[in-house]
Structure formats: structure tokens, C-alpha cells
Structure 1
Amino acid sequence: MAELIVRVVELKGSYKQMGYEQGVELKSQPLFEHQMDQQRGLTVHSNSLKAKELVKSLCPNFFQELQGLAEGLDMDLEATIKQFSGYDLTFPSMGCTTMVKKGFYVRNYDFSPELYDGRFVITNPNDGYATVGFSQQIVGRLDGMNEKGLVVGLHFVNDQYRGPGFIATTIVRMVLEQCADTEEAIAFITNLPHGYCYNFSITDQSGKSAIIEASPDKQMIHYTDMLMCTNHFESEPLRAKNRAEVLSSIKRKEYLYSMQDHEQTPFAAYQLFNDENSPLFFQYYKEYFGTLHTVVYSPKELKVLVGVGGDFPPLEFSLREYLQGKSSLPDKLIGKIKM
């Protein structure tokens, strides 16, 4: 067994200040140079000038955070944008399983601990939506919920079909920053350049849910009352862009469908996903397919159940109470994984 440590990061103030604080924090980490070398290896094709132009126009708040990040890292802005904007970035494959049912969104994120930020981030900016979620590459997000009750998560599909565009972690982050509901999220996502093939699972405070199947050249929208999303495209126009092997993804989705008539609470759903013996929990960490976190977002109540590793007693967190100054968070979450 190995420890999996996820730091809880709280950020507030201007976006530039939040970026600066994260840059200083990142630079102070013992493995900073190793992390930066990994980042550079993912940005071979990145066009920083094009990325700068797009980020400034699509999400000015994100651009301000990148400016602050550059100052905190003591790096040139162009180099920071190239490494952290998520534009024309390569990224290893990952797995994710999501279900939306009865007003809550439950998700497992499967990947390698070696390339996992290990950061659960709460932001409360002066001039934008407060958010809570898991970061990737510091400023990106794997999944999250904002103060309006919008929830978004990503699901890798294929990296063999690529184009000039953003990776999904940046897209999730930008959506949470400036979209209040599912329709706004759909309009935003379908107006972006996409670098690879991903699914986006979305729900909001009203319960309106959708899956966006997104490739560099086409996006398909599927509205659904009971959302179940894994790592393959199902629409006919995009099915040819799936990886050759999608059996695991299909089986996970079939299992979710088999559970649709079971009465579930957010806590019961969390247990179903986080149980190490569950068909939805994986331990192939060396193959980039081990479950790293389980999270349940409840948009109506703005509540979160979160755990890292397997069989983790969940931390319950209220974003609403946090913003009202009525709750606090631990410095870190420590779970166990079988390596």
C-alpha cells in the first residue's frame, strides 16, 4: 500500500494574485524542476502566441491568472502560457466514470499518481464565480462545481485525432469560471477549438444534464435525464474516432445502466464508486488507469463528498457554508492505493 496525499488549496483575491500564489507554491515544491521538465515534454507543438490570443479573448480571468503564475514562477509570460494554457498540449490517456442521478453527480477519476497534481482547489475570486474541484497542471481542472451549481467533468476518448486547440482540463476550468448553467456551458464548449477527443459530462442546479462528445472537427450534444458517461463516443458521426479497445469503457457504462433502478443517495453512490471491490474502481496505477479520487457534487445544495484512494471515509464539504465563512477544511487528504 502507498499513501496518496492530496493537498487542499484555498485561493482568494484577484485572479492575478491567485496565479502568483500558486506559482510561488509550485516553485517551493521539492520536485519543482522535475515537474517543469515533464511539462516541457508535453508542449512540443504549443504555439504560445496563438494560445495567448485565444485565452485573452475566451477567458480574460484565466489570462490574468497566467500572468500571476508567471510572476510567481519567475518565468517569462510566453513560456508560462506555452506550458500552462493547455493549448496544443499533448497528454497521456486516462479513464473516468460519471453518473448523474436524482440531483447529484458522482465520478471516479482514473490515472497515474505520478502525473496527478494531488490538489483539491477552492477558489473565491473577487470578480468571478467561486469554484471547487481537482486541479491538473495547476490551473486546469479535471472536474469541479461552481457557486451557481454548474458541474463539469472530462472523459478522455482518443489522442490520435488532434487539431490546434485546448486540452480538456483547460476547457473545464474556463467553463467553471464563466458559465452558470448547462446551456451556457454547451454554448461555450462548442465554440472552442478542441485539441483532442473528449467527452464532457455536465449538470446544473436545475438538474439539466448533457454529454458533449467533442473532437477537433465536430461536437455532438446529448441531453439526458440520467447521465452516464465513460471514455468512448456513441454518436454515429464520431464513433470512428474511438480507440480500438473500448471494451472497458462499454462495460463500465453497462454496469451503470444496470444500477439505474437502485435507490441511491449521494453517500450510497459515493460508496459504490469508492469501494475497492467495485466494478468502477481500478488499481492499474502503473498502466495509467488507477482510481485516484471519488467525488460527489450536489449542485442544489452546493455540497461535495470527496475521497482519495480506495475505501476512503468521505470528507463532506459545503461550498455555500464555506463562502459564508461557516466552515473550514483540512490541509490535506491522505488515502491509500495499491501500487
Structure 2
Amino acid sequence: MKSKVMEFKHCVVEGTAYEAGKQLGNMLKDDKTFITAMTSPFMGGSKISKHQLTRVMDLYDKFCPGTNDEITGFADAIGANAEDVVYYFAFLQNRLSNCSHIVLTPSISENSQIYLGRNYDFHWNEKPLLIESRIKGQYNQIGFGCQVFGRFDGMNEHGLCITTSAGVINPEYTEEGFVFPVVVRAILNNCKTVKEAIELFDSMQIADYRNFIIADRYGDAALIEVAASKRALKMAGNTENDKYLFSTNHYNIPSMKELGYPIVKHSIVRHNAIKACIEASLPKISKAELKKILSTTMPEGVCCHHYEDGMGTLWSLVFDPMQMEVDICFGSPNINQWKTFNLNNPTGVKKYSAMLPNESATPDFWKPVSNS
């Protein structure tokens, strides 16, 4: 079996947005390949136009204040022009990810806690960054960075947590709007509760095809399925009939299913595994049982080792907003150990390594299937 050791960096920054960006630049500038990728047009395209740059900067100031200063600090540290930083393409571009995520509300979880867990699955050529920030004017937060300034997921100082997964594999983009890393960062920066997050979400123009799960320390949770301007909401929690939510890489809310977007087999397999595991564990589910779902390989669980095929688990996490902790496993949780993090780590960089065991996917792994 082919395997690879992957390095993960945990970067902790604080101060003004400019200072935090400069700290990140200094932490990352020695990785020339990474810096080239972060300062080149997205996907080998053309440079962003002055008109579009101004437009995106204005939108960042509106929804994610401090982003432009953070980018400027980063650019100054690495000796680049701020307008060349790839994150300015995040109003139009997309980043594929094949993920599973689950939220358990207090009424069905052991110890009456709320837990939001997820696996992030992709190719092993990634360079994952766990970023913890204490930036003036923003809520303190921890989560995995996407293009440094965006987030794949995260939890802030008020216990507001968010995770995402692709709703459609390789969609065709036909509308303008933000893609998920900006949406996630804006919510972490500005929102204390699921209600506030939904209000901010509704005000944002989104081009992405994405599933979002949001949870707060008060026991409320929401699944938002988005196909550009089309979106649907499902709630769970204290006053809702649903006590848990989960998502993989397709839509399940009836109004979104009706849109008829293609679905791949592995998404259905993971969806069915999550449902079966939760229903078998009711009426009460522990954090350990949630981790077991994330750690068990398909088809019984959702962990994947198909790294060279673009579907290997790079990290897993379980947010515990009532305790203000997140348990993280770097690499496959089937063979690597979990570690606990909070929001009080000292500034600087700490490195972790994890083993990624590659296995070839079966020929029908990416096969289109129906969602009946």
C-alpha cells in the first residue's frame, strides 16, 4: 500500500488585521511553492481586473471587514503586491471538497452537549493550515484556512461553529457571488448565534454549490443547502422536531433535490452510513460514537483513503461549543490520534505530522446515481 506523511501547521496570530496578515506571511513565506500558488491567478487564469478588484475589496469591507488589511500585511511580509493575492478571486471561483458533516443537538447527545463533527476529504497534495486568530474587530476563532484568509470550517469565541461540503461535484458556475471560504469567515467573524448567522447568510450573494451546517452553544443548528441563488434551510435543536442534521456531497432538502443535480455513488454511501450509525445509537449518542462514525472507513463509516483519486480524509474534527474545545485528528482518523485544541494557544507555529495510507478507489466509486 502506498502511503505518505503529511505536515500540518497550526498558526496562531493576533493583533490588528494587518499585523495578523503579516504574521501569517512571515510564518509561511519559506514555502516558495505555496507562496507562488497564493500569489498567482486562480486556476491559471488571467489576472483580476482593476474594476473587479475594487468591487471585491468593497464587498470584503462590507461583509468581512479587515480582510483587505490582512491581505496587505501578508503581501508585505512575502514581498508581493496585495492585488496579486489569489483570495481576491473568491467572489467568483470555487474549491472542490468532498466532505461529510454531522450535528447532534443536546436532546440526543450524551451529557446534553451539542457536537458538530466533520471529515474533510481531498487529494494529498494539499498543505493544510489550522489557523487560530485573535484579531481586533473580529471574534476570536479557530479553523482550517482556505487560501489563508478564508475558512473551510471553524468555531469562534461565542461557540458559533460552521462546517461545509460540496453540494454538487464539479458544478458549472453561471452566477456571480461569493464562494464558501468567504461566507464561513464572515460568519465566524461576526456572528454569535445560528439566528445571526442565517441573517448574515441571507444578505450575501453566493455563487457556490454548497452545504453548510451551523451550530451554536445554545443548542440550535441549521443545514443550509445552496445552489447559487437557490437555497433551502432546515433547522434542528431545542424547539425543532429534528434533533440532528447531516450532509455529504448532494442535496437532500426536498426543494433542492427537485433541482436534479448529479450525485455520485460515494456521497450516497456516506449519507446512508451516517444515518444508520446515528439511528443505531439513539436515543443518546456520545462524542466517542460521533468520532467512530468519522473514523470508520466506508461503507460502514465515512473515512476514505483514496488520496490519489481526490477522496482521502485529510482531517477530522468535532466542535464542542459548550466546552469551547475542538477535537482534531490530522490525517485519517482511522489510524491517527485525536488532539484537543482551544482558543488560548500562544502565537507562533506548531507542526504536526500524520500518516495517509492510499488505497485505489473502485471503478464505480464516482459513478452517477439517483437520490430517490
TM-score (norm 1): 0.89
Give unpaired runs (5+ residues) of structure 2: 237-242, 359-372
Q: CA contact under 8 A between 2:56 and 2:88: conserved in structure 1?
A: no
- Aligned to 1:337, the other structure's residue is in SS state strand
User: 1: distance between equivalents of 2:207 and 2:84?
Assistant: 19
Higher mean C-alpha deviation, range 230-239 or range 204-213: 230-239
Aligned residues: 331
Alignment of 1:245 onto 2:247: no
Q: CA contact under 8 A between 1:203 and 1:210: conserved in structure 2?
A: yes
> Can you list the C-alpha shifts for 1:154-209, whole angstroms capped at 9, x where unaligned?
11123224421111112111110111110111111121111221011111001101
Give the aligned CA root-mean-square deviation in angstroms: 2.4
> Can you list the C-alpha shifts for 1:251-297, whole angstroms capped at 9, x where unaligned?
22222121224143223322331244653011111221111001010
Q: CA contact under 8 A between 2:101 and 2:164: conserved in structure 1?
A: no
Question: CA 1:268–1:260 in 2, change beyond 3 Å: closer, same or farther?
Answer: closer
Q: Highest CA radius of gyration, 1 or 2?
A: 2
- Aligned to 2:255, the other structure's residue is in SS state coil
Question: CA 1:7–1:234 in 2, change beyond 3 Å: closer, same or farther?
Answer: same
Alignment of 1:172 onto 2:184: yes
Give 1:96's aligned residue.
99
Q: CA contact under 8 A between 2:166 and 2:210: conserved in structure 1?
A: yes
* Superposition deviation, residue 135 in structure 1: 0.9
Equivalence map 1:1-339=2 (5 Å): 1-32=3-34, 34-36=36-38, 40-41=42-43, 44=46, 47-80=52-85, 83-84=87-88, 86-91=90-95, 93-101=96-104, 102=109, 103-114=114-125, 116-158=126-168, 159-224=171-236, 225-239=243-257, 241=259, 243-261=261-279, 262=281, 263-276=284-297, 278-310=300-332, 311-319=335-343, 322=344, 331-339=350-358
Q: CA contact under 8 A between 1:162 and 1:196: conserved in structure 2?
A: no
* Superposition deviation, residue 246 in structure 1: 3.2
Question: CA 1:111–1:185 in 2, change beyond 3 Å: closer, same or farther?
Answer: same
Of all paired residues, the percent bearing the same amino acid is 22
* Superposition deviation, residue 37 in structure 1: 6.9
Question: CA 1:306–1:172 in 2, change beyond 3 Å: closer, same or farther?
Answer: same
- Aligned to 2:117, the other structure's residue is in SS state strand
* Superposition deviation, residue 84 in structure 1: 4.3
User: 2: distance between equivalents of 1:23 and 1:108?
Assistant: 27
User: 1: distance between equivalents of 2:246 and 2:78?
Assistant: 39
Question: CA 1:235–1:270 in 2, change beyond 3 Å: closer, same or farther?
Answer: closer
Give unpaired runs (5+ residues) of structure 1: none
* Superposition deviation, residue 249 in structure 1: 1.7
Give 2:239's aligned residue.
none
- Aligned to 2:24, the other structure's residue is in SS state helix
TM-score (norm 2): 0.82
